[in-house]
A and B are shown apart, each in its own frame.
Chain A
């Protein structure tokens, strides 16, 4: 894990002092609501329906046991005993008092954390995949460059008032688990034949009300130019991105308006002035940061563990959990474990109690090297668990309600906080997620169905990534009541795709039936072990529409 030095530490503490002063001036009436707004947003503070919400940055989804304990202490001391993991690998606290925020930020700073730029029209938290550094299919560890980007984008004075928010993701594995096609800038890190690290740069992706997959503007960019190239993109965007309409202000709209070639030309021209200048990264800096991400002292373990094999044979429930929640690891004898935050009706997706956070912190030390990851699917990852300890960990996880064996299954629902909390939402997300989870509570059946992603957003802003769910559900407002529009065929990863709307929207009460009909159609047409997305690709939307909208069919017949 990256450890702060004196500069990093000074920055977060000075930032706390600065914001403490701003909060005091706001509360004293010296700053207007309008003037205070971007200041609080750039410190992670939103105004929600019922209270302030504080979004804490978890840079590229990595945190240590002590940091997790601090999040637990904040949940306990300043919130209602829980927090919520987001699709951007951050943590949100939903019940925060403004006057206490500086103290919370100070507590975070003490464990090398912050909430800087987790909101606002600036460069947001840099994300990568949850298995960075340990995934068996990884080409290179993307975290050093993610950390370098985090530092460079933090309080970068020229780019704090961009037309709109700006999200950057980096990935370097065969599977793209960081959704780089859905980001303002997506970076794919790879090596050429001589071992030189190169970047593929993708721009203009994003969800929201105009979902667009990113387009490549640069191939083979040597890593040393990362910062100068991103600076060139940002300067072109800052100068030319639209500011007249907040819904047309993301970089994707600029890229679309100019065309990718004209946009790339602008960036390239700007970059000619910057490349080989002081922003060029040095080997020394790369090594300094990369040294924080050296692999821990793995023990030399056998690739197979006899006891583990016996447990698998004896406990079908454990075997099922291993099949879904355990990922292969680079190092023999180890595995990465995904702890599901989607137990069904017991808790909304991504919500974790202080007690659970403390348990996870303890397990990360007991079974690993004190490191924890947050996946953008809102689950928790313990990256380094010896296979021999999986059974013990599973037993503990089940006791804590974190042992659901549903990773990648229909009930592993991605959902935003929705209308229960969010001031922007058109409709609630959590009750919809829970109604679907309640309807599909037969784990055997879910396992038979295989990989199906179901994503729910409470509004067009798409925090629940509904466009890239195999099944997407979007909350919409119709004359003041809550309705849900369904899309099918979305996908993340290398074969990213945006889902297509199947027809008119449904009431909340109808949604579980609709999902059941969609799944029923899949089961009827499925060939052997086919995945949901593959069946859909083969048979198209029509058979699904026919089952979902039978009345329409009768009328037209």
Chain B
């Protein structure tokens, strides 16, 4: 992926040479190199192992609890936004990070756009595969969002009334 933004300590960077390849549908021989597979294929591949080969992506209907047994070795989880107006991945991200303790990379894929990046960041995503036809450099401006968060989020679990 070459249109990727990733959070780094104290900021974010545009990653031009990200090695992961997103596999939307598995037809024929998969390409070489680290892959992000759809959940059914990924589960098939890892049925007999807990070493968690390759990364996995979940659609909004997929249950995040499927992945818990592989957490210690899983290299990457991606959550798909089939449309930027489909907000289910925000709740999946919340559950992965807050309830089930996923600490590895959590990547937003699909219809990933500048004006939603700050919400994704708040919900615990730390890498963002910006939609291919959009400028990742421009999208960087969307990561910061607002300085005030009334409620709480994955990266700020205390609501404002506990910080006020």
Contact = CB atoms under 8 A, between A and B. Distances in A.
B113 interface: yes
B146 A238 contact: no
Which of A10, A156, A273, A285 has the most chain B CB atoms closer than 10 A to its own CB?
A: A156
B87 A162 contact: yes
A161 B88 CA distance: 8
B146 A11 contact: yes
B137 to A, nearest CB: 13
Interface in A139-164: 148, 151-162
Given A151-B150, A153-B151, A161 B86 contact: yes
Interface string B130-158: 00000000100000001111111100011
A152 B151 contact: yes
A156 B164 CA distance: 17
Contact of A238 (B88, B122, B150, B159): B88
A436 B164 CA distance: 53
A468 to B, nearest CB: 30
B161 A281 contact: yes
B159 A35 contact: no
Contact of B86 (A5, A243, A282): A243
A14 B162 contact: no
A238 B90 contact: yes
A540 to B, nearest CB: 46
Contact of A273 (B99, B123, B148): B99
B139 to A, nearest CB: 11
A235 B91 contact: yes
A236 to B, nearest CB: 9
Interface residues of A, number: 41
A404 interface: no
Given A7-B160, A158-B153, A239 B88 contact: yes
Nearest to B160: A7
Interface string B115-129: 110111011000000
B118 A151 contact: no
B161 A285 contact: yes
A35 B148 contact: no
Contacts of B148: 7-8, 10-11, 14
A18 B161 contact: no
Interface in A226-264: 227, 235, 238-239, 243
Contacts of B88: 238-239, 243
B47 to A, nearest CB: 26
A157 B159 contact: no
Contacts of B122: 157-158
Contacts of A39: 115
Which of B92, B94, B116, B161 has the most chain A CB atoms closer than 10 A to its own CB?
A: B161
A159 B87 CA distance: 7
Nearest to B157: A278
A121 interface: yes
A507 B157 CA distance: 57
B84 interface: yes
B85 interface: yes
Contacts of B150: 7, 11, 151-152, 154-156
A158 B146 contact: no
Interface in B70-110: 84-88, 90-92, 94, 99
A243 B88 CA distance: 10
Nearest to A282: B161
A158 B154 CA distance: 9
A501 interface: no
Interface string A266-286: 000000010000110110110
Interface string A394-422: 00000000000000000000000000000
Which of A10, A239, A273 has the most chain B CB atoms closer than 10 A to its own CB?
A: A239
Contact of A35 (B87, B113, B158, B164): B113
A161 B87 contact: yes
A22 B141 CA distance: 12
B48 to A, nearest CB: 30
Contacts of A273: 99
Contacts of B99: 273
B108 to A, nearest CB: 13
A2 B20 CA distance: 50
B158 A238 contact: no
A238 B164 CA distance: 28
Interface string A4-47: 01011011001100100010000000110001001100000000
A160 B164 contact: no
B85 A38 contact: yes
Interface in A89-110: none
A493 B138 CA distance: 51
Interface in B34-60: none
Contacts of A281: 161
A109 to B, nearest CB: 13
B94 A35 contact: no
A7 B138 CA distance: 28
A60 to B, nearest CB: 16
A154 B151 CA distance: 8
Contacts of B90: 157-161, 238
Given A151-B160, A273-B99, A157 B115 contact: no
26 contacts: A7-B150, A7-B164, A8-B148, A15-B146, A35-B113, A38-B85, A121-B87, A151-B161, A152-B150, A152-B151, A154-B151, A157-B120, A157-B123, A157-B153, A158-B153, A159-B87, A160-B87, A160-B119, A161-B86, A161-B87, A227-B151, A238-B91, A239-B88, A278-B158, A279-B151, A288-B161
Interface of B: 84-88, 90-92, 94, 99, 113, 115-116, 118-120, 122-123, 138, 146-153, 157-162, 164
Interface of A: 5, 7-8, 10-11, 14-15, 18, 22, 30-31, 35, 38-39, 121, 148, 151-162, 227, 235, 238-239, 243, 273, 278-279, 281-282, 284-285, 288
Closest 6 CB pairs of A and B: A161-B87, A157-B122, A157-B119, A285-B161, A11-B148, A151-B150
Given A7-B160, A238-B90, 6 more contacts: A10-B148, A22-B115, A38-B84, A157-B149, A158-B91, A288-B164
